[in-house]
Amino acid sequence: MDAGCGCAILKIMADLTQHIHELAQEHVDGEHFASQDEVLVAALTLFKQYQTHQRLRDRLQLASDQLDQGEGTDLDSDGLRQFFDSVKTEGRSAIL
């Protein structure tokens, strides 16, 4: 890697950092947040929730595919309640 390439990467990183700073500052200036740190915390919290929802969607798709292939399990009302209780517990722990 030549020195020119390294400089280009540093410039891109500096531009990106400046862009993120400006976006965060817009929300502070717009009185949505008290500081850029609050903006970052909110963004990361939303991203974590997005990832959790994506994992749940993936699991639902897998379950749907398994049902389509006849791989389902019959559950009585107690078994179904236990299943949903475990799903709720897992979902809540992933969000917190």
**Residues 83, 42 share a domain:** yes
pLDDT tens column, 58-95: 999 999 999 999 998 788 899 889 989 998 888 888 77
d(CA 37, CA 76): 49
- The pLDDT of residue 4 is 58
**Residues 40, 28 share a domain:** no
**Residues 46, 23 share a domain:** no
**Residues 44, 17 share a domain:** no
Tally of helices (H runs) and strands (E runs) in the chain: 3, 0
Domain count within the chain:
2
What is the end-to-end Cα distance of the chain in Å, rounded?
43
Distances (CA, A) of 94 to 74, 81, 87: 27, 20, 11
- Tell me which residue range forms the domain holding 68: 35-96
Tokens 């990832």 belong to 51
pLDDT tens column, 12-65: 777 778 888 899 999 999 988 999 999 999 999 999 999 999 999 999 999 999
